[in-house]
């Protein structure tokens, strides 16, 4: 039996309005809010939706047909989605994949994530590119109510969203020969898979102090991806300062931004972020170009670091995509070398971390 159509609206903070129909869960009072961004991947919608880095955000998929191969728990990147909602042009009416155990609409309902379909996502994406990512509201409520909700939504600036996604207690994964402590700032399952092949990984909450980490006598420390404004995650930054020079450190995404901050660097918010699976990045020491998966709204300011060199640069806009410290064993990248699914060009970075740990360092 076909579900009845539920007319819905998406209203941006600047008043721009888009018509559609409600999918997924029904939000409280018919209103869901968040910061609206767009992602350009052609596949991997489940991995995107379950990436904790989207906490506080509404994900717009630019690819017009979403949900065609369904959902499987094997592709979840975290224990549940942390995004505020999903916007699509057309939701697939029927899933078609032998691995699928549910369809996307059922998945959204199960996890209480609202969505809106039938939206002109091309127009929405062009608007975000010109005006920047901004707060928005969507749902089945009337336009006046949604406009008021969009205007009241604070967005992600200055908010510590890591506190929402980090684990409550430490846990261990993997059986590799080395010992790694991984800060859970919103860590993805695929990252743990790659680390777990090389090390026994103890995942710890974002509030874990440097002393607590060093007491575990790890061979290396990993700083994970995560959501929101790095300037708001002050406690973890202080812990990183206490780790530098004591143990090799590798950071990805938010971990990259926090490492740079701990080194005295500055971060800033990009107009509409990098969200997609085809960003070209140049590795400066070899000149090789990698096709990368990216998901971030903030970046490290070029020229703000005096003790680290830029190792990778985004060829689309020149944004700093990686750094390597000169005087301590630490490096990081802004993009996602684990990329599941996605390009695999950058998976060598896990080997570089393994090599850094093999070379040792103060412990």
Structure tokens at 214: 């060093």
Pairing of strands 289-300, 267-283: antiparallel
Domains of the chain: 7-152 (3.50.30.20), 162-359 (3.40.50.880)
What is the spatial distance between Cα 350 and Cα 347, in angstroms, rounded to a whole number?
6
Q: For 196-223, what is each residue's pLDDT tens digit?
A: 999 999 999 999 999 999 999 999 999 9
- DSSP H or E run through 281: strand 267-283
Given 256, 274, 275, 336, the catalytic residue: 336
What is the pLDDT, as a whole number, of residue 2? 55
The predicted model gives 278-284 an average pLDDT of: 97
Q: For 262-274, what is each residue's pLDDT tens digit?
A: 999 999 999 999 9
Burial of 64 (0-12, 13-18, 19+ CB in 10 A): exposed
Given 153, 202, 321, 338, the catalytic residue: 338
What is the spatial distance between Cα 335 and Cα 235, in angstroms, rounded to a whole number?
23
Q: Is 325 a catalytic residue?
A: no
Please compute Rg for the chain using Cα positions: 20
What is the pLDDT, as a whole number, of residue 5? 84
Q: Is 274 a catalytic residue?
A: no
Residue 304 and residue 257 in contact, taking contact as beta carbons nearer than 8 Å = no
Question: Does residue 162 sit in helix, strand or coil?
Answer: helix
What is the pLDDT, as a whole number, of residue 361? 55
Which stretches within the chain are classed as H helix?
Answer: 45-49, 104-110, 121-131, 143-152, 162-165, 189-198, 210-214, 234-243, 254-262, 348-359
The predicted model gives 281-300 an average pLDDT of: 97
The predicted model gives 184-193 an average pLDDT of: 97
Q: For 133-175, what is each residue's pLDDT tens digit?
A: 999 999 999 999 999 999 999 999 999 999 999 999 999 999 9
pLDDT classification of 339: cutoffs 50, 70, 90: confident
Given 253, 256, 274, 290, the catalytic residue: 253
Residue 167 and residue 205 in contact, taking contact as beta carbons nearer than 8 Å = yes
Could you give the C-alpha distances from 27 to 46, 49, 51, 242, 311, in angstroms and in order? Answer: 20, 17, 20, 43, 44
Task: Examine the pLDDT at 337 and tell me if it is beyond 90.
Answer: yes
Task: Examine the pLDDT at 1 and tell me if it is beyond 50.
Answer: no
Which stretches within 173-323 are classed as H helix?
Answer: 189-198, 210-214, 234-243, 254-262
Helix and strand counts by DSSP (H, E) for the chain: 10, 19
Structure tokens at 183: 């800060």
What are the phi and psi torsion angles at 320 (to 5°)?
Answer: -65, 125
pLDDT > 90 fraction of the chain, expressed in percent and rounded: 96
Strand order of the β-sheet with 320-325 is 171-173, 199-205, 178-184, 220-223, 249-252, 330-333, 320-325, 308-314, 267-283, 289-300
Q: Is 127 a catalytic residue?
A: no
């Amino acid at each position: 039996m076909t579900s009845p159509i539920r007319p819905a609206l998406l209203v941006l903070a600047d008043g721009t309005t888009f018509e559609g129909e409600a999918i997924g869960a029904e939000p409280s009072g018919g209103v869901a809010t968040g910061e609206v961004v767009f992602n350009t991947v052609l596949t991997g919608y489940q991995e995107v939706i379950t990436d904790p880095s989207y906490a506080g955000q509404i994900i717009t998929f630019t690819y017009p047909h979403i949900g065609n191969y369904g959902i499987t728990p094997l592709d979840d990147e975290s224990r549940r989605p942390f995004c505020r909602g999903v916007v699509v042009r057309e939701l697939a009416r029927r899933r078609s994949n032998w691995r699928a155990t549910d369809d996307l609409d059922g998945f959204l309902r199960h996890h209480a994530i609202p969505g809106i379909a039938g939206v002109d996502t091309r127009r929405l994406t062009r608007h975000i590119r010109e005006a920047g990512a901004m707060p928005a509201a969507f749902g089945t409520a009337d336009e006046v109510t949604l406009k008021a909700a969009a205007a009241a939504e604070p967005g992600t600036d200055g908010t510590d969203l890591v506190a929402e996604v980090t684990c409550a207690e430490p846990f261990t994964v993997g059986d590799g020969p080395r010992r790694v402590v991984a800060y859970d700032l919103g860590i993805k399952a695929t990252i743990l898979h790659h680390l777990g092949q090389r090390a026994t990984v103890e995942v710890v909450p974002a509030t874990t102090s440097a002393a607590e980490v060093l007491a575990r006598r790890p061979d290396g420390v990993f700083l994970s991806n995560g959501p929101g404004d790095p300037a708001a995650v002050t406690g973890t930054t202080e812990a990183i300062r206490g780790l530098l020079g004591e143990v090799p450190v590798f950071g990805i995404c938010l971990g990259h931004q926090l490492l740079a901050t701990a080194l005295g660097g500055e971060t800033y918010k990009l107009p509409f972020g990098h969200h997609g699976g085809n960003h070209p990045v140049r590795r400066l020491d070899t000149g090789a170009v990698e096709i990368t998966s990216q998901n971030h709204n903030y970046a490290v300011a070029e020229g703000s670091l005096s003790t680290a060199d830029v190792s990778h640069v985004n060829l689309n806009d020149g944004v700093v995509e990686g750094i390597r410290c000169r005087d301590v064993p630490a490096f990081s990248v802004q993009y996602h070398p684990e990329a599941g699914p996605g390009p695999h060009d950058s998976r060598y970075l896990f080997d570089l971390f393994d090599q850094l740990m093999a070379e040792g360092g103060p412990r």
